[in-house]
A and B are shown apart, each in its own frame.
Chain A
């Protein structure tokens, strides 16, 4: 990205991951946002991209990511049995 040429959508997409991850340098970020100010299609795409990340995390972490389910009661016994099989002659 340069300060003098307007960014195309294709160029913006190259930096999209860094933009949403917050790792874009301030000058690049400003240019990215300048393009978004004039391109509703990119605004919609970036919003969908962010929502996709959030949805992926939520789908895998469950309804209460701060309170993950405890291990099933049978896990400890299953590990015991597996280890017994492993260590018995």
Chain B
């Protein structure tokens, strides 16, 4: 790597590695400028991925840094079956998952207590309250996002991971299953439980308070 002073993120920074073949050849040949070029081209997109998953900028930065380090070490194993950008995305998501698992967290909620209950006739034991429209919440968007993120972080790890990958990152069920080393059926079950638990955690903020 060359070591000129880092400038601001390039406005043209892009994940669109149109000349992947040439860059990959330089990377494999050990061209010191090639990896830096790869970082410049991909850092904005990978940072955005990490920020979505980690929530905090400092954690996102650490995760991306670790992702690039892992990528650098694994370059020799990259066979070109997927695009460089897909490969880097997956490495970044993995780095985020590792960091999330090691992060000191507040106590997790007991999910079973948050799931809907049913009577013997199969109908809801308690009627579900209607949620107020966003405009009637009396809470600023930024504060609302902070609140929701904090509730997501209270979910048990296996549920939170699936929720982040499926609903936030938009990964499909198959890819999520492969990444987490679980079955497709488990991904579906965990996602549904995660959504129901998160809904129950958010509900007090979105419904009329019972007198």
Where chain A touches its partner, the secondary structure class is helix
How far is it, in angstroms, between the C-alpha of A61 and the C-alpha of B168 when the chains are bound? 7
| Residues of chain B contacted by A58 (CB below 8 angstroms) | 145, 148
| Residues of chain B contacted by A72 (CB below 8 angstroms) | 9, 47, 57, 61
| Residues of chain B contacted by A68 (CB below 8 angstroms) | 44-45, 47-48, 51-52
| Residues of chain B contacted by A63 (CB below 8 angstroms) | 141-142, 145
Number of A-B contacts (CB under 8 A): 161
| Residues of chain A contacted by B116 (CB below 8 angstroms) | 9, 13, 45
For residue A53, CB closer than 8 A to chain B, the reply is yes
Q: Is the CB of A80 within 8 A of B36?
A: yes
Q: Is the CB of A55 within 8 A of B148?
A: yes
Known: A9-B118, A60-B52. A70 touches B73 (CB 8 A): no
A 41-65 binary contact with B (CB < 8 Å = 1; else 0) = 1101101110111011111111100
How far is it, in angstroms, between the C-alpha of A75 and the C-alpha of B69 when the chains are bound? 12
Where chain B touches its partner, the secondary structure class is helix
Nearest-Cβ distance from residue A85 to partner chain B, whole angstroms: 9
How far is it, in angstroms, between the C-alpha of A68 and the C-alpha of B65 when the chains are bound? 18
| Chain B residue with Cβ nearest A51 | B131
How far is it, in angstroms, between the C-alpha of A42 and the C-alpha of B3 when the chains are bound? 60
| Residues of chain B contacted by A86 (CB below 8 angstroms) | 69, 72-73
For residue B82, CB closer than 8 A to chain A, the reply is no
Question: Which A residues fall within an 8 A CB radius of B?
Answer: 8-11, 13, 16-17, 39-42, 44-45, 47-49, 51-53, 55-63, 68-80, 82-84, 86
Question: Which B residues fall within an 8 A CB radius of A?
Answer: 1, 3, 5-9, 13, 35-36, 39-40, 43-48, 51-53, 55, 57, 61, 64-65, 68-69, 72-73, 116, 118, 121-124, 127-131, 141-142, 144-149, 152, 163-164, 167-168, 188, 191-192, 195-196, 198-199, 202-203, 206
- 19 A-B contact pairs sorted by A residue (CB < 8 Å): A8-B121, A10-B123, A13-B116, A17-B192, A40-B127, A41-B123, A41-B127, A48-B128, A48-B202, A51-B206, A52-B195, A55-B148, A56-B167, A57-B167, A71-B44, A74-B61, A78-B65, A80-B36, A83-B1
